[in-house]
Amino acid sequence: MLRVEEVPEIARRAGERERADAERYPTETIRELHECGLIAAGFSPANGGSGWTCLDAVRAVETLAAESPSAALIVAMPVGFAGITEAVGYLAPEAYRAEWPEQLASIAEDFHAGTHYAAANSEAGAGGSFDATKTIATRTADGWRLSGAKILASGGANADVFFSIAKVTQDDLPGAGVVEGFLVSTRAPGVTIATDWDGFGMRSTESHSVRYQDVNAVRMWGFPNFFVVAQPLSYWFCLFAAIPLGCAAGLLAVMSTPAPASPAVRLRLAEARMKYEALSAYLHETAAAWRPAAGPEYAGRVLRTKTYVSQEATKLCAELFALGGGRHYRRNDIAARLLADSFAGTALRPPLALALDGLLAQFED
């Protein structure tokens, strides 16, 4: 069992490794995060986890991001996957309820064995929207077969399993939603993982493109119309907001150590701390209310939280960086890296432009 209070020490080690080499995929850190149980923490103790809530996971990702934003981003995907999979079983329709325990147990077993799950959902030009997904899944005699092209799959070839959304027909899956989720072995025939990542920030995440050509999936995740029935995305949105927020915490620590002599700069740092604490409290309150199938009101709250926290945390990083002066004005300086990493928060699902359109639509309703 891992307690959230143990995460700062784990994060400190991740930060040391990141500072030694910020460009290389953090293999050792991800291994430690599997071994200490952080990645599986969202499962119940009966399923080999620590029974973490969404709030626990947010606190852990925020803490980790302050030291190693790339590691925080890489693990946000499987951490969310575990927490969601643990929580949604009771929503399975009658026909799928009997098989749910087997699905949950087999995924939890994978996590226990250190199998690394990564998200390969985004598609070029889709703007983060599920409706615009072009990857398709067709039913075969033995399961499901996927074809399509994904971008920005953090973890790339270091992952063992991708979870990917794809469109399915009603003939293949009566009651299906616009998209369904599938698990795909990264080493299955027909999977091609490119080496095309050259990010502005998050350099070591290896967020490459992936192509599926008639790939046999391991299984479908969840049950028909899973994303509408279980409404799982809000869990990840809370985790994504925790990443730029952690970057702001990291920058605040960098700028405050040693404490600056200038009273004016100290005042700016005190103001920055107040902003950080306010953003953190907003996110924590939203995450504490997470539950599956929470409904449109909660979805709106999460959209506002993710949008506001990501945007304001990124601005806060810029303000803090500006206080650093020439000392930190180097591409590989820790402050410069935290600043660049923070901008990933506004790109992560839902990307800022789409989120703002979503907010406006809610306002018009």
Q: Torsion over CA of 194, 233, 5 and 274, rounded to 10 degrees?
A: 100
- Element of type H or E holding 163: strand 161-166
CB of 90 to ligand FAD, least distance (A): 27
Query: Going residue by residue from 73 to 92, which x/- string records binding to ligand FAD, judged by CB under 6 A?
Result: x---x---------------
User: Using CA atoms, how far apart are residues 72 and 58, in angstroms rounded to an integer?
Assistant: 10
Contact 214, 192 (CB under 8 A): no
Strands, sheet with 161-166, edge to edge from the N-terminal-most edge strand: 117-119, 161-166, 180-185, 219-221
Q: Are 155 and 81 in contact, with CB atoms under 8 Å apart?
A: no
Contact call for residue 353 and ligand FAD (CB under 6 A): yes
The CB-of-358 to ligand FAD minimum distance in angstroms stands at 9
Q: Is the CB of 28 or the CB of 357 nearer to ligand FAD? A: 357
Nearer to ligand FAD, 107 or 239 (CB): 239
CB of 15 to ligand FAD, least distance (A): 19
Of the pair 85, 121, the CB lying nearest ligand FAD is at 121
**Residue placing its CB nearer to ligand FAD in the complex, 66 or 152:** 152
Answer yes or no: are the C-beta atoms of 286 and 301 closer than 8 Å: yes
By CB under 6 A, name the one of 289, 351, 359, 362 that touches ligand FAD.
351
Phi and psi (nearest 5°) for 353?
Answer: -60, -45
Binding-site residue total for ligand FAD (CB under 6 A)? 27
Q: Is 359 in the site for ligand FAD (CB under 6 A)?
A: no
Q: Which residues contact 258 (CB under 8 A, 6 or more apart)?
A: none
- Alpha carbon distance 55, 60 (integer Å): 9
Tokens representing residue 272 in the block: 């920055």
- Rounded Cα–Cα distance for residues 53 and 55 (Å): 5
Rounded to the nearest whole angstrom, what is the least distance from the CB of residue 195 to ligand FAD in the complex?
15
What do you get for the CA distance between the two ends of the chain, in Å? Answer: 45
Minimum CB separation of residue 164 from ligand FAD in Å reads 8
Please, how many CA atoms are within 13 Å of residue 23, restricted to the half-sphere of its CB? 4
Report in angstroms how near the CB of residue 234 gets to ligand FAD at its nearest.
Answer: 15
Tell me the C-alpha distance between 348 and 52, whole Å: 23
CB nearer ligand FAD, residue 271 or residue 357: 357
Closest approach of Cβ 346 to ligand FAD, in Å? 8
CA 207, CA 304: separation in Å to the nearest integer?
26
Report the nearest approach of ligand FAD to the CB of residue 106 (Å).
Answer: 22
In the bound state with ligand FAD, the residue whose beta carbon lies nearer, of 50 and 177, is 177
Using CB under 6 A as the binding rule, the residues of this chain from 140 to 159 that contact ligand FAD are 152-154
Residues 189 to 208 in contact with ligand FAD, rule: CB under 6 A = 199, 202, 205, 207
Scanning residues 103 to 132, which ones bind ligand FAD (CB under 6 A)? Answer: 118-122, 125-129
C-beta of residue 26 within 8 angstroms of C-beta of residue 17: yes
Closest approach of ligand FAD to the CB of residue 258, in Å: 32
Asked if 347 interacts with ligand FAD (CB under 6 A), we say: yes
Among residues 35, 196, 214, 357, which is the contact residue for ligand FAD, using CB under 6 A?
A: 357
Which C-beta is closer to ligand FAD: that of 128 or that of 260?
128
CA proximity to 300, closest of 308, 246, 346: 308
Q: Which is nearer to ligand FAD, 53 or 129 (CB)?
A: 129
Q: Which helix (H) or strand (E) holds 35?
A: helix 27-35
Q: What is the residue whose two structure tokens read 């004005």?
A: 329
Name the one residue in this structure whose structure tokens are 């399961």: 143
Residues 16-75 within binding reach of ligand FAD (CB under 6 A):
73
Q: Enumerate binding residues for ligand FAD (CB under 6 A).
A: 73, 77, 118-122, 125-129, 152-154, 199, 202, 205, 207, 344, 347-349, 351, 353-354, 357
